[in-house]
Amino acid sequence: MLSTPTVRTTAPPVGPSGAHPATRPPAASATGLVKAYGRGATEVRALDGATLVIPAGRLTAVMGPSGSGKSTLMHAMAGLDSVDEGSIRLGETEVSQLSERQRTLMRRQRIGFVFQSFNLVPSLTAQENITLPLRLARRTADAAWLEELVSTLGLGDRLTHRPGELSGGQQQRVAVARALVTRPDIVFADEPTGNLDSRHGHVLLAFLQKAARDLGQTVVMVTHDPTAASYADQVVFLADGRVAGELPDPTVPTVLAAMAGLEQPATRAES
Ligand SMILES: Nc1ncnc2c1ncn2[C@@H]1O[C@H](COP(=O)(O)OP(=O)(O)OP(=O)(O)O)[C@@H](O)[C@H]1O
């Protein structure tokens, strides 16, 4: 678990357009999502009526016990997987009605991903990995933004290295720069600090928090770690494939208390 205490700023978060997140429409929402694997006696309902709203310009953490549907939810919202029932909106777009090709384009143009296993291309340098989404979308790099990402994430002297020549923390920071390079509408991060020590975890979480607060970037992060979740603006708790509670302005103690509440079926995880 990470041990670095959270440092919170008191200034209200402001988006790149100067708009306070509360005045922006939600970045994404999911309503009544159902996703089952298998059939009959072996059926597993990974999602069983999940409904939630992802506010724009905020860092949202998704927590819940193992098997509660976190990864399934994130993959569905990102258009990586289909659902059996329910509606997913990304901005004004109804994701569940898009064709496979339209979903691919949406992912390229509007979504950034950070996977726990980094998913970097081994034969490409850090710089080439970071700019890969731009090449796939046939877009040119915004040099100032690229420079800001590289310098804030401390990657300036590692750009010509291949992933095999980078530490785990450096690889994860390359993966984060790659996820943000297109300035996507929303970034989904699956356990982004899962493979990092506490110092590298803190750097990464502080960056995601800053991206949301200062730049208006919407970030959704799956995590098991209450300290990681305390960097978020809100936590959504999943249990048995549905939302079991939400916690605004989380701290480590309030996250732990909410998680303890989740383990007792009669109580709800609320602030
Ligand atoms: N491809 C699949 N085939 C069959 N069952 C699956 C598949 N993917 C997920 N599941 C099941 O769906 C449920 C939800 O899985 P999911 O990976 O979304 O949970 P999670 O909350 O992300 O878990 P963890 O915290 O352990 O990563 C689990 O019971 C899992 O075994």
The per-residue DSSP string of 33-84 comes to EEEEES-GGG-EEEEEEEEEEE-TTSEEEEE-STTSSHHHHHHHHTTSS--S
- Does residue 70 form part of some domain? yes
- Does residue 14 form part of some domain? no
Q: For residue 211, what is the domain's CATH number?
A: 3.40.50.300
Residue 25 CB burial class (10 angstroms; 0-12, 13-18, ≥19): exposed
Separation of 167 CA from ligand 1 center, angstroms? 29
Q: Which residue, among 15, 4, 76, 79, has the nearest Cα to 46 in the 3D structure?
A: 76
**Which residue's C-alpha comes closest to atom 30 of ligand 1?**
67
- The continuous run of DSSP H or E covering 121 comes out as none
Q: Write out residues with Cβ below 6 Å of ligand 1.
A: 37, 44, 46, 64, 66-72
**Which residue's C-alpha comes closest to atom 27 of ligand 1?**
66
Separation of 77 CA from ligand 1 center, angstroms? 15
- The pLDDT tens digits for 37-88 are 998 888 999 999 999 999 999 999 999 999 999 999 999 998 888 899 999 9
Owner of token pair 């009605």: 97
Residue 23 CB burial class (10 angstroms; 0-12, 13-18, ≥19): exposed
Ligand 1 atom nearest to CA at 69:
18
**Which residue's C-alpha comes closest to atom 4 of ligand 1?**
37
- The pLDDT tens digits for 141-186 are 889 999 989 988 889 999 999 999 998 889 989 999 999 999 999 9
77 vs 19, residue with greater confidence: 77
- Does residue 241 form part of some domain? yes
Pocket probe for ligand 1: among 45, 71, 224, the residue whose CB has the most ligand atoms within 8 Å is 71
Q: Are 27 and 212 in contact (CB under 8 A)?
A: no
- Does residue 97 form part of some domain? yes
Ligand 1 atom nearest to CA at 241:
14
Pocket probe for ligand 1: among 43, 45, 47, 68, the residue whose CB has the most ligand atoms within 8 Å is 68
Task: Specify the amino acid at residue 224.
Answer: H
Separation of 69 CA from ligand 1 center, angstroms? 6
Q: Are 34 and 85 in contact (CB under 8 A)?
A: yes
Q: Is the pLDDT of residue 5 over 50?
A: no
Q: Is the pLDDT of residue 221 over 60?
A: yes
Q: Which domain, by its residues, includes 39?
A: 25-118+184-270
**Which residue's C-alpha comes closest to atom 24 of ligand 1?**
66
- Does residue 78 form part of some domain? yes
Separation of 145 CA from ligand 1 center, angstroms? 36
- Does residue 178 form part of some domain? no
- Does residue 50 form part of some domain? yes
**Which residue's C-alpha comes closest to atom 2 of ligand 1?**
37
Owner of token pair 């302005």: 249
pLDDT band, very low/low/confident/very high, at 120 (cuts 50, 70, 90): very high
HSE-up of 226 (CA within 13 Å, CB side)? Answer: 13
Structure tokens at 117: 């296993």
What is the number of structural domains in the chain?
1
Q: Are 174 and 143 in contact (CB under 8 A)?
A: no
Beta-strand runs (E) in the chain: 28-37, 44-54, 59-63, 85-90, 93-94, 111-114, 186-190, 218-222, 234-239, 242-248, 269-270
Distances (CA, A) of 246 to 53, 206, 221, 230: 11, 22, 14, 13
- Does residue 149 form part of some domain? no
